[in-house]
Structure 1
Amino acid sequence: MELGSLLGEGMNPKRSAKRFRRAPGKRPMPFTAFVVRETPAAAKIAIIRTGVTARVVDEMVRYLGVSKSDIFRVLRTPESTAHKLIKDSRPLDTAASERVVRVADITRLAEETFGGRAPATQWLKTPNLALDRATPLSMLDTEPGASEVRRILSAINYGGAF
């Protein structure tokens, strides 16, 4: 997908990142936007550096069917901090914003692997023997954990068993 089609013709990635921080209802929140389509690296970097709105937590809870505390653990953001950021409509820090993008990317891969949102989110929430009985979602707080989840999804896609 071309950067222009995602961001709008003539927009640069830095300025377009601000679009993802607007109030809910005006524009799609970043989580669903990232799950629905592959986002160019330049746009991801700009959005991560600008900071994803903390309100994305509510969308992640709805989309994945998990609790806010589960999302706060994956984002490695204390609940009190996250609640204040949400209340003040402020962005998450760079590290938490990167984790939002990571979770969305892995969710998209899981949806492609399992053929839809429901089986993908169920798989993300189910303890996995290959991850020492941790859930794939819980592994997404670090890049090495996400790499393991990607490896498992790849093995499933190409006939491996996990």
Structure 2
Amino acid sequence: MTASTPAARQLAKRAGAPRATASAGNLKGLGAGKGDFDTFRQMAPMSQRRAIADGFDAIIIERVARELLGVPVQSLLSALSLPSSTILRKIAKHDRLSQNESDRVARVLYILNLAIDLFEDSERAAAWMSRVNAELDGLKPIEVLDVQPGYDQVRDILSRAQFGVTA
């Protein structure tokens, strides 16, 4: 992954941008379009919820893995406890992810945005997500985002680091 990829540049934009007012219903297959990462980041929380409930385009898995995290697709699927054969079939058929599958991908996007805000660099943020963390019992942040308590812990680690609070 390089910071010069369009998706990485878009994801790295600061939160100062106004929130998009478009509803999730206007976004067909969120994740397939060039500006979708930034669009999702700027959406109001209830619009994000609707986009997740509608299901992201399955190709978002490949895009997040390759363009944002710089990891193999299989690594992301394993980390999020998503069934490889099902997801790869959905990607090949240009299907949408389920609400549960989309929610797991959204957690990665949320945490990656927080990490980019902290590190001010998309490559460093992606590297941090793939590095073992003692506060996560020796797991990588990406490996605990499959369930809500893991997501909450990673978000807490990033928030404390951003505000200089020690554990």
Q: What is the percentage of aligned positions where both structures have the same residue? A: 28
Aligned residue for 1:93? Answer: 98
Q: Which amino acid aligns with 2:113?
A: R
Question: C-alpha deviations, 1:20-51, integer Å up to 9, x for none?
Answer: 26xx4xx33644543xx343112111111110
2:50 pairs with 1:40: no
Question: C-alpha deviations, 1:106-158, integer Å up to 9, x for none?
Answer: 10000001111011111111000111110011111111101000111011111
Pick from 151, 155, 162: which aligns with 2:156? 151
Give the direction of change, closer, same or farther, for the CA distance of 1:154–1:2 in structure 2 (3 Å limit): closer
Q: Which amino acid aligns with 2:60?
A: V
3-state DSSP of counterpart to 1:44: helix
Pick from 141, 146, 153: which aligns with 1:141? 146
Equivalent residues, number = 149
Higher relative contact order (CA 8 A, sep 6+): 2
C-alpha contact 1:76 1:96 (8 A) present in aligned 2: no
C-alpha contact 1:55 1:86 (8 A) present in aligned 2: yes
TM-score (norm 1): 0.83
The alpha-carbon deviation at position 58 of structure 1 amounts to 1.1
3-state DSSP of counterpart to 1:105: helix
2:27 pairs with 1:17: yes
Pick from 51, 56, 60: which aligns with 2:64? 60
The alpha-carbon deviation at position 159 of structure 1 amounts to 1.2
Aligned residue for 1:10? Answer: none
Q: Which amino acid aligns with 2:59?
A: R
Distance 1:119 1:43 in 2: 29
Report which of the two has the higher share of helix.
Answer: 1
Distance 2:122 2:60 in 1: 18
3-state DSSP of counterpart to 1:18: coil
Structure 2 residue ranges without an equivalent (≥5)? 1-17
Give the direction of change, closer, same or farther, for the CA distance of 1:19–1:61 in structure 2 (3 Å limit): closer
TM-score (norm 2): 0.81
Pick from 107, 114, 117: which aligns with 2:119? 114
Aligned residue for 2:34? Answer: 28
Cα root mean square deviation, aligned:
1.9
Give the direction of change, closer, same or farther, for the CA distance of 1:3–1:32 in structure 2 (3 Å limit): closer
The alpha-carbon deviation at position 16 of structure 1 amounts to 1.5
